[in-house]
Amino acid sequence: MNKSMVLTAVIMLSAGLGLGYWLSPVEQEGAKATMSMGDDPVDADGGETPATGKVLFYRNAMNPSVTSPVPAKDAMGMDYVPVYADGAGNAGNAGTVSIDPIVIQNIGVRTAIAKKSDLSRTVRAVGRVAFDEERMARLHPKVEGWIEDIRVDKTGETVKKGDVMVSIYSPRLVSTQQEYLLALNNLQALKDSPFDEIKLGAEQLLKSSRQRLLLLDVAEHEIVELEKTQQIKRVLHIHTPVPGTVIRVGSRKGQYVTAKTELYMVVDLEQVWVYADIYEYELPWVKIGDEVDMTLTGVPGRVFKGELAYIYPYSESKTRTTKVRVVFDNSESLLRPDMFAEVSIRSDRQEGVIVIPAESVVRSGDFNQVFVVRAPGKFEPRRVELGFESKGEVAILDGVEEGDEVVTSAQFLLDSESKLGEATAKMMESLQNKAPPQQSESPEMDSMEKPDYD
């Protein structure tokens, strides 16, 4: 029973093999006829075959720099990819990239339009609020003496111009007043003298005595009062020559003072200076007259406007920075000396320059480039000359025109594909102008026979 079944199976298998061998030529001819139908020839897998193009060379799929003039396999057993003379995929400028719209969406390609805009470079630095040195006054007595009364005895007090600060008793001041009264009475007695020289001498003596009182800081109204009352004052009032805030008190009641004694320091805080440190590489961008914005943590939500007034002619050796001075109005008394601030200097304002997002630029050591959309799915690399950058935008001096659409994301993927396409285009151009390239040195190709092109 088992022998019969085995014999039957062997006979049927032999008959099937014979029938398949007899029918295979017919099927092959039908398949060839089917593939040759239509306008474009296709291979058995349904992919297009560039049959009309001539194979120039074969390229390693994993390393495009490795080529071969004949079909070959790499170390992993993968076939080299043929490169055809029709240059499919290399139309346009060298490095132009063509990508399927679905792939563009998958890799997240975004674009922006180059436009004309006003742009200025912003230099940011840390600033410190300080007194306006031109609005500071130090009060010293002109005579030696003792302080009889003190009117302002606390720092932080606000005074007006001409306010009495202290009263000083000075023997020298008393004697000078006596001299003035004597000169005044002498002129009264000699005003009717028939001798002009005597009368002129009396007038000069009075004038010099009055001038001496003024030099000792005796106020004009006090001299007028002395002339009217003929009473010598025991003390001298010291007046402030400027309005402002008292930031230092250097004397107290009963203290003996001289011309070296600093009685007060008064500063007008209606206007303040702000010092900022600028690094050396940013120094060429700033100049006197630039607009400056300042913010402080102590005054949240407020932006103060100022103007760069001075650039100091020396640098700090430890920080390698140069100090600049900015002037700000402080009529609201919000800016206090020694407060720290964030300073933004808007320099080199240019109008009507072409700008693109700074993220669009692919930066390298030798050049900068962007990718410009030439058609749907086609991106062309362009070398650009950059201007200065500000607030996420960069000025383009050459390479991009107004209205061009540039890629702002995934440009590094496009750059990799562009370099691959550019390398292929250069190799094809070399093959067209010269003999076909020789096989690259690779271990797997050493055993293959090199064709003779003679």
pLDDT tens, position by position, 136-162: 989 988 889 999 999 998 998 999 988
Number of domains in the chain: 4
On whether residue 247 sits in a domain, the answer given is: yes
Q: Which of 350-354, 402-406, 426-430 has the highest mean pLDDT?
A: 402-406
Q: Note whether 180 and 246 are same-domain residues.
A: yes
Q: CA 289, CA 281: separation in Å to the nearest integer?
A: 19
> 108: domain range?
99-117+352-409
Q: Note whether 415 and 357 are same-domain residues.
A: no
Q: Note whether 140 and 244 are same-domain residues.
A: yes
More confident residue, 22 or 289: 289
pLDDT at 21: 43
Q: Note whether 259 and 152 are same-domain residues.
A: yes
pLDDT digits (tens, 9 = 90+) for 197-211: 888 888 888 888 888
Q: CA 248, CA 446: separation in Å to the nearest integer?
A: 92
Q: Note whether 75 and 183 are same-domain residues.
A: no
Q: What is the mean pLDDT of the chain?
A: 77
Q: Note whether 11 and 80 are same-domain residues.
A: no
Q: Note whether 70 and 147 are same-domain residues.
A: no
- Whether 255 shows a pLDDT value over 80: the answer reads yes
On whether residue 86 sits in a domain, the answer given is: yes
On whether residue 336 sits in a domain, the answer given is: no
Q: How far apart are the first and last CA of the chain?
A: 71
On whether residue 287 sits in a domain, the answer given is: no
Q: Note whether 157 and 63 are same-domain residues.
A: no
On whether residue 295 sits in a domain, the answer given is: no
pLDDT at 91: 44
Joined together, the tokens standing for residue 438 give 């020789």
- pLDDT above 70 coverage of the chain, percent: 72
pLDDT at 196: 78
pTM for the whole thing?
A: 0.53
pLDDT at 440: 46
Burial class (CB in 10 A: 0-12, 13-18, 19+), 33: exposed
Q: Note whether 370 and 402 are same-domain residues.
A: yes
Q: Note whether 258 and 219 are same-domain residues.
A: yes
pLDDT at 100: 67
Q: Note whether 154 and 260 are same-domain residues.
A: yes
Q: Note whether 72 and 19 are same-domain residues.
A: no
Number of other residues whose CB lies within 10 A of the CB of residue 223: 16
pLDDT digits (tens, 9 = 90+) for 22-75: 444 434 444 333 333 333 443 433 334 444 456 777 777 777 668 888 898 888
Q: CA 233, CA 218: separation in Å to the nearest integer?
A: 11
On whether residue 323 sits in a domain, the answer given is: no
Q: Looking at residues 102-130, what average pLDDT do you find?
A: 83
On whether residue 177 sits in a domain, the answer given is: yes
Dihedral sign from CA coordinates of 411, 416, 420, 423: positive
pLDDT at 20: 46
pLDDT digits (tens, 9 = 90+) for 206-247: 888 888 888 888 888 888 888 888 888 888 888 888 899 999
